[in-house]
Structure 1
Amino acid sequence: MTDEMNPVGHEPWTGYHAGLPAPPPAQPGGGGPHRARGWIALLVAMLVSLAVVGSLLAFSGGPRTASPAIPSTGATLPTSPASGSAGTSPVGAIVDINTSEQVLGADGLRPLGAGTGMVLTADGEILTNNHVVEGASSIQVTIPGHGSSTATVVGVDPTDDVALLQLNGASGLPTIALGDSSTVQAGDPITAIGNAFGRGGQPTATTGTVAAVHRSITARDPSGTSSERLNDVIQIAADVHPGDSGGAVLNAQGQVVGIITAGPSRSSGNGTGFAIPINSAIGIVNEIRAGHGSSEILLGERGFMGVAVQPVDPATAAQLGLSDTAGILVAGVQPGSPAAKVGMTAPAVIRTIDGQAVNTLDELGNAIHSKVPGEQIQVTWVDQQGQHTATVTLASGPAV
């Protein structure tokens, strides 16, 4: 059985994947930030102008009844370190993450989103969700009492929604205290800490309880074209808001037992959230640290082609003389990008990568992300001049 967590009259969170980052503050003189076409690294998840994005949550497995939620306090936590550990602080080690993206036809970078992270090491390893940094050309991390610093992606696991970042030139930072998520049980008291609504400043906290463990959730966009399954997550009865993604779920001892990764579609929260068990996340982090890349764990920078894409619609297919809507529509090409260098222009439809058909945005993304900058792929596309095949040398681009 599946429950849809999208109450009537409430918009889904802006973004993509489970647990979505909060939008940046509204720009003066407008209704909000313009989040236009992203660049395929593949980063179609963030193409708000090309596809409707958001999150509906469905969950299955485990008990159906959640414990009553304790209302969100909205309180700002004290800044003193956790007792018994001079180098750890549940607040000083919780950081704000703000991302920016490159937009087609615009100079410089524009705000993309905001989320939360946790300091793992004194020299600046940061744990967060993959979806918090996905699509980012620039990642800025603000640490309470230490200012802001640029971060780079060490590695990501998009399937499990985990990312490991590294701050530039960091030292002497407070770190989180890790708990053992295997001991978490329904009914345990918890505190969820994050960058609620992307407002920045000292982190906010809400208290609640563990509603269930070993849950499975599916996050998908309203159009149904993209979805992601997260297994063995912790369900919490506490308000979770956009911007809390990547934040901490603490046990009664102030130890981190989970990473906030998903919440309800209503931005005000409804006393329900989901968290990745910290044991699982640290296992992925250790694989990244060891340099063990795989089909799921992507290390460092990934291949970038420089096209903005969307599913093929019948009208465009007919315009290009195609009898079907197979493939992926190229709606824009970044000047000077690998795609531009081989003569690709918009509109066009990418049919195959390395001889394999690509009919979904995820398939195209996987084909590109399996490569690193400098590697080559063979791309076949169709435009108004006919069919073309070329070898594309991938460049480095936004986070995946």
Structure 2
Amino acid sequence: MDDGRRRGRGVRLLALFIAAIVGFTGFLCYRGELPRWPFADDATTASLVGPSLPPLDVDLVSRVAEPALVNITAGIRPYGLGAAGSGIVLTADGEVLTSHHVIKGADSVTVSDVGTGVTYTATVAGYDSSADIALLDLHGADGLPTAHIGSSVPLHLGDDVLAIGNAGGTGSPTAVGGPITNLDSAIVARNSADLSRKSLHGMIEVAAAVAAGQSGGALVDRYGAVIGVVTAASGDLQKALGKGPNGYAVPIDTAMNVVRQIRSGTPTDTVHIGPTATLGILTSDARPTGARVDVAIYGLPAYSAGVADGETITALDDRPITDSQMLKAALNAHRPDDVVRLEVSDADGGRRTVNVTLTVGPPN
């Protein structure tokens, strides 16, 4: 009898053990179909994810990421020119991450929600032109879907990623995918709006046909987590040399460092906070030193204060100015209505000091 009871208990225990194994296996199967967000503190586990995984599911990942994307239109007066780009929603009340070159020179910025089509006016909270990152605040926004922010630290060459944005300015997000081909790429990017060029470093390079309008959009991993901000596409020369198509993105960790600096309200030599303060001049590097005033724009502060074309700015508030970039860096710390003291020299070597009241201008 005792043996029979023991056998019965053994059978029941075996059945419970088998049931537990079956149940655990069921959860593992379901877990494989659920999004898993590899945040920065998950870098050890995420670093094990690599080319051995199945191909990225473009449709599934797009459905996860697209609700947190917006379309951006930047208007430039007086010619009615503008630029179309994309943005990534960081907060439900309307903080939007985008590329600086999307809003560069804009007098007005409007943002439309991809999912609802609702349009918002936006102000530029701050930007870092050297990193090509800007942060916008949407007026009256509430309850917006927000992006899942991942980390660019655990990425590997060959990882499949997806670039999503407003390609061609059509208003509908376009997704293009491909493997990562470089994690520290250096490029010279050309702004199609004003034809200016900028050197960018530390870019994520992706073998994907990124298009104009996707700038400021999201580079996402296979789980839909944002791991970069789309910045540039390969140029015609690269394509002609058989090196394209490629897309480039600012690593999300770099972008979020800029965002945190902007949120702190403390400007740096590269990070500008709030409305842009301008002298109203166009400059170039002077020789041997200084920022040469190529044009003092009529009616704007420098012109009104008597600064003339061809003069050279050598200091701002006693800070030496050795080139145009240093002048921009010095102005980064200022706001409209600040009064700055310029040391100016003319072609004959004459020197003088000019006080100029800055005015609001488009993002540099």
Q: TM-score, normalised by structure 1?
A: 0.65
Could you tell me which residue of structure 1 aligns to residue 83 of structure 2? 113
Could you tell me which residue of structure 2 aligns to residue 125 of structure 1? 95
CA distance in 1, matches of 2:131, 2:124: 16
Shift of 1:394: 1.1
Structure 1 residues 351 and 344: CA distance shift in structure 2, 3 A: closer
Shift of 1:395: 1.7
Structure 1 residues 134 and 311: CA distance shift in structure 2, 3 A: same
Shift of 1:179: 2.2
> Structure 1 residue 219 and structure 2 residue 164: aligned?
no
Higher RCO by CA contacts (8 Å cutoff, separation 6 or greater): 1
Could you tell me which residue of structure 1 aligns to residue 70 of structure 2? 95
Shift of 1:203: 0.9
For each residue in 1:228-247, what CA deviation from the matched residue of structure 2 results, as whole angstroms up to 9, or x when unmatched?
3422x322111122222111
For each residue in 1:11-46, what CA deviation from the matched residue of structure 2 results, as whole angstroms up to 9, or x when unmatched?
xxxxxxxxxxxxxxxxxxxxxxxxxxxxxxxxxxxx
> Structure 1 residue 196 and structure 2 residue 158: aligned?
no
CA distance in 2, matches of 1:160, 1:152: 19
> Structure 1 residue 288 and structure 2 residue 262: aligned?
yes
Could you tell me which residue of structure 1 aligns to residue 158 of structure 2? 187
Structure 1 residues 152 and 343: CA distance shift in structure 2, 3 A: same
Q: Which of 140, 144, 150 matches 2:121?
A: 150
Shift of 1:117: 0.9
SS at match of 1:289: helix
Structure 1 residues 166 and 268: CA distance shift in structure 2, 3 A: farther
CA distance in 2, matches of 1:324, 1:341: 27
CA distance in 1, matches of 2:296, 2:283: 7
Could you tell me which residue of structure 2 aligns to residue 375 of structure 1? 338
Amino acid at match of 2:125: V
Q: Does the 8 Å CA contact 2:99/2:132 hold for their aligned counterparts?
A: yes
> Structure 1 residue 331 and structure 2 residue 295: aligned?
yes
Amino acid at match of 1:353: A
> Structure 1 residue 274 and structure 2 residue 286: aligned?
no
> Structure 1 residue 253 and structure 2 residue 223: aligned?
yes
Shift of 1:118: 0.8
Q: How does 1:313-352 map to 2 (within 5 A)?
A: 327-335=291-299, 337-345=300-308, 347-352=309-314
Shift of 1:143: 1.5
CA distance in 2, matches of 1:365, 1:116: 26
Structure 1 residues 356 and 118: CA distance shift in structure 2, 3 A: same
CA distance in 2, matches of 1:151, 1:229: 26
Structure 1 residues 340 and 95: CA distance shift in structure 2, 3 A: same
Amino acid at match of 2:297: V
Structure 1: gaps of 5 or more residues: 1-66, 68-74, 83-89, 103-107, 313-322
Q: How does 1:39-50 map to 2 (within 5 A)?
A: none
Q: Does the 8 Å CA contact 2:126/2:272 hold for their aligned counterparts?
A: yes
Amino acid at match of 2:188: A
CA distance in 1, matches of 2:178, 2:62: 22
Structure 1 residues 94 and 240: CA distance shift in structure 2, 3 A: same
Amino acid at match of 1:351: I
Structure 2: gaps of 5 or more residues: 1-50, 52-57
> Structure 1 residue 301 and structure 2 residue 271: aligned?
no
> Structure 1 residue 167 and structure 2 residue 138: aligned?
yes
Structure 1 residues 164 and 220: CA distance shift in structure 2, 3 A: closer
CA distance in 1, matches of 2:237, 2:145: 30
**Which one has a bigger Cα radius of gyration?**
2
**Per residue, is there more helix in 1 or in 2?**
2
Could you tell me which residue of structure 1 aligns to residue 204 of structure 2? 234
Q: Does the 8 Å CA contact 1:78/1:91 hold for their aligned counterparts?
A: no
Structure 1 residues 357 and 295: CA distance shift in structure 2, 3 A: closer
Aligned length: 298
Amino acid at match of 2:335: V
State the percentage of identical aligned residues: 32
Root mean square deviation, CA, Å = 3.3
Structure 1 residues 289 and 368: CA distance shift in structure 2, 3 A: closer
Q: TM-score, normalised by structure 2?
A: 0.71
CA distance in 2, matches of 1:306, 1:169: 31
Shift of 1:257: 1.2
CA distance in 1, matches of 2:123, 2:275: 9
Structure 1 residues 359 and 304: CA distance shift in structure 2, 3 A: same
